[in-house]
Chain A
Amino acid sequence: MALKTSWIISLKALRRNKLQTALTMIGMTIGVATVLTMIALGSGAQSAIQDQVKAAGMNMIVVKAGNYSAQQEAVPDDAIEPAAYSGWPQRGGWGSGVFVPGKATLLRSYFHPEDDPFAVHDHPTARQRLGDSEAGLGAAATLTIADADAIRRIGGVQYVSEGVHENAHVVYGDTRWFTRMHGDDVSMPRIKRAWTFVHGEYFSKRQEANAEQVVVLGSIVAEKLFGTENPVGKTVKLWNQSFKVMGVVSTTNWMVAPAPGDDEFDAIYIPVTTVQKLLNLSKLNDITVTTQSTGEVTRVSKQITELLRVRHGITAKRPDDFQVISQAHKALTGGGMRTDVQRAVVGNVAGLEKVTLDQLGKTLDRASATMTALLGSIATVSLIVGGIGIMNIMLLSVTERTKEIGIRRAVGAKAQDVLLQFLLESITLSVVGGLLGVLIGYIASASISKVLQWSTQVSLVSVAVSFGISAAVGVFFGYYPARQASQVLPIASLKYE
């Protein structure tokens, strides 16, 4: 007999017992809805943790030009070394960067081409770029946009933003405000996950490519210059040049409110290309990199180091002319630790501290994955309970419907027709119940995130899994009763009242 006919028979049989059908289905619906909601909550929590970690900058790496942690300024390859000099300490110890208090000497006496008063450079030399606190401590203008592009090609890298930082006066009408100027890439709002735009938006890729004179104001700057006015579309002056205001940026982070003097919101953002053009710079102060996952920070940091060493032609025994700083690095160096200890730690166990914080990220990932699995398995129990409910009802139904089976057998139904009918009934119950469950689970997850503000995430996989389980439950728990039904003897059933 055609499957379609069997299915029609099953549907008719189910329709004859509406209440029973509905009650059985509810079991399945609740099961599937629970599984879906639990998984949604679990993976919501997981991605929320990931988001927090990312928002905290755990996946952020900053590559800074210069390397003060190496303590003594490296002798540039092109430096002219006085032949008579013999007191060069720690030859060969560069890579370790061990800090020896008291022996810090800045080897300024070396002649460096950049120091040549007659040389004409296309960028301010390290010495000229005062205002960079690192200047003189190994700051070297070595990072370029080409370096940033090379970093972009490393696997696992999410966003890369070139950075040039200066202090600048912003002028609007008669109002002046001295603030921090950041020359950045368009990807900055995606790197700074806590950012939100009060007005307007960030400058576009095209504006960056064309080095247009556009500016995004930090909320503090906007307030100082414009008060409550919407500055978008207005023109401010910077270095006596006109800049069109594109947007105003603030933060969604309620823990740290924007305040005058901070680096993010008492600041203005200009395309890095514009800054380079106007200030005649070809080098960068830093490159901000984010990784796709928190767990990759160490690997990516390492790769960046290797890449830049090759690009900058640094030989094995020379120290880096840049610093790769991850959030871990900052956490360790920013915690009120004695400066000398900090330097010693960062210098000596750079790998270790990165690994530990990296592992914290991984642990958080694992913990939330475990939670999802736990919630999912608890919910699966409810699915199984729903399945047993179906089996129960179907078994009861076989006894109750012995006569119906007998009638069907008498008019010519084969044992397998009866088997198929009962099997299709339970599959229909569980699949329709499951579909309803998916719907209810989806609504439940959506309302939970709306009302309780918990983050939930209904993934296609979780829908497929819970739906698949419900169909499997229908087959699995439906088979035994169906088999029982098919084995009912035709005469026995006709005598049954």
Chain B
Amino acid sequence: MSGSAGDGLLVPTGSLVHRLPAQVKIVALLLFVLAVVSTPAAVFWAFGLYAVLLLGCVVLAKLPPATVLRRLAVETPFIVFALLLPFVATGPQVDVLGVSLSSAGVLGAWNVLAKGTLGVVAAIILSASTGPRDLLAGLERLRLPSTLIAILSFMVRYLSVVADDLHRMRIARESRGYAGGRAGHLKAVAGGVGALFVRSFERGERVHLAMQSRGYTGRMPLLSIGGADRGQWLTGLTVSLAAIAVAVAARVVGL
């Protein structure tokens, strides 16, 4: 497994979850999320079980809880949206602490919050236990078209290069005494993005030359990763299969 410090979102702990082949983890994540979203929102106990399953994974992957909680912050926009729902949805109203809320809205908010959080935590576990290169190789193993793999892999490689470019441009601007206020800054950033696009475009051309000169003929070589055996698939999918069982039970009981 590749993995030096600061390799994408990877938190290297060498746990059982980390050692599973990436393609197994990707399929497991997909199945888990499908199970979660197909569960009726009113069957609250099912979501409790999902949460317990995920908690088990976090413990098994030896991920620091603080890191997981911090990364949950990406969910914030959805939380805001979810919290708005009870106020804007129509239908029968309920009184909560003296505020009149739409009962459909409350359930909708719960639906977004619960399913969103579970999905995000599952994705955090995947990204913290799998390096970016392994993720790409796993997707390739799952027959994602090679053009998409190539685009993703260039993105992984050049994100930091482009971020460095942007950082240098900002420093150059500020070190020449730029202080244009909020609107001025926005304008400068917009201009900077244009310049950044041109720079990145030119870099793309140079990279293409470098690829050609090493015999590139339009087909990227495979990243090649070992196949997963039956045991690894079974181990990796345990949680997802449990989640599917919960989802089916929720459907049957919930109706």
A and B physically associate: no
Q: Which residues of B contact A (CB under 8 A)?
A: none
Query: A interface vs B, CB < 8 Å?
Result: none
